[in-house]
Amino acid sequence: MTQVSANKRHQTEGKACEGADRQVLLSIKNLVKDFILSRQGLGRQKQVLRAVDNVSIDIMSGETFGLVGESGCGKSTIARCLMLLERPTSGQVVFSGEDILALSTLELRRVRRHMQMVFQDPHASLDARMRVHDIVEEPLVIHGAGNRNERRQRVAEVLELVGIDPASATRKPHAFSGGQAQRIALARALVLNPDLLILDEPVSALDVSIQAQVLNFLQDIQQEFLLTYLFIVHDLVVAEYFCDRVAVLYLGAVAELADSQELFRNPLHPYTVSLVSAVPVPDPERPRRGARLVLSGEVTPVGQKQQGCRFRARCPLGGGRSRCLQHAPDLREHTPGHWVACHFPGELRTPN
């Protein structure tokens, strides 16, 4: 992870000079996604799970934006809504100035050429019956890009770029290791030269040594092709070193959003404080963050509405405070660029 850290610092320094020139590439506005768990019937009411609750995020061109949070907080659901693999209940998704939720099927296909997704499990996302060459070529065929010879040449170029020998492209996905399969999935996403890559925990299923290789590769191609990443991850060590900005999700809503360095140095939301306190420090020369803050209490049951702050049942500060019991906090800018949804931001600190 030391090499990842060094690369990230170099990348951040380079991007700092470009910050003023960046524009919003993807704007998520008041995104809501409900899932119906049970239908209305005799003597019972319809039960609805709100997986994504009024999420608003702007992602700048050329940055790596991280979504972190525990399992079930809505990270992958947001990604699937952005690609319209799940239709949002309400809200807007504006990509390059176009609201993709209002597009026709034909118009959506045109936009999808510029935004691609890499899934968590490469072997599950690659068709086991297809050859690697056909898997990577398929997006080109769907979008009518080039003739057969041009597509074959493009597939060979992209496979070589991600470190897969084009001569092995006649094999099927099961013949490759997990790291190689993830590179094939990346090749499929890159073959159309997209502007945005949505990466849904792309390294969580890989060994630690392979994780570092894939992360370094992602950084290299980001600089080479001017890519923008939405990086979904549960490993906060990876989020700290790989992402430019990070949003922390809790039960489908944004609890805190800030620059990566600021978020991990100065967490304001009690939930973020607890997450940061659990992050191991990989560099022996860096001081430890202190003792771990372990949360108590239970998560609100699925489908059950709760008055007040959604985190209060587990919060060491606001469990008994009337303001937390009665009013849900809005996401507000506490300091420039640092947003938090808490009535008492910064009051809880990582224990020493």
Summarize pLDDT for 52-68 with one digit per residue, the tens: 999 999 999 999 999 99
**pLDDT the model gives residue 350:** 63
pLDDT over 70 (residue 37): yes
Confidence tier at 349 by pLDDT (50, 70, 90): confident
* 3-state helix/strand/coil string of the chain: CHHHHHHHHHHHHHHHCCHHHCCEEEEEEEEEEEEEEECCECCECCEEEEEEEEEEEEEECCCEEEEECCCCCCHHHHHHHHCCCCCCCEEEEEECCEEHHHCCHHHHHHHHCCEEEECCCHHHHCCCCCCHHHHHHHHHHHCCCCCHHHHHHHHHHHHHHCCCCHHHCCCCHHHCCHHHHHHHHHHHHHCCCCCEEEEECCCCCCCHHHHHHHHHHHHHHHHHHCCEEEEECCCHHHHHHHCCEEEEEECCEEEEEEEHHHHHHCCCCHHHHHHHHCCCCCCCCCCCCCCCCCCCCCCCCCCCCCCCCCCCCCCCCCCCCHHHHHCCCCCEEEECCEEECCCCCCCCCCCC
In angstroms, the CA 163 to CA 171 distance is 15
**pLDDT the model gives residue 130:** 94
pLDDT over 50 (residue 20): no
pLDDT over 80 (residue 8): no
pLDDT, mean of residues 216-242: 89
Confidence tier at 287 by pLDDT (50, 70, 90): low
What would the pLDDT profile of 291-310 be if each residue is shown by its tens digit? 677 777 777 665 566 788 98
pLDDT over 70 (residue 14): no
pLDDT, mean of residues 150-179: 91
pLDDT, mean of residues 166-192: 90
pLDDT over 50 (residue 201): yes
**pLDDT the model gives residue 72:** 85
Torsion sign, CA atoms 57, 86, 128, 169: negative
**pLDDT the model gives residue 306:** 73
Which domains are seen in the chain, by residue range? 2-114+194-340 (3.40.50.300), 129-192 (no CATH)
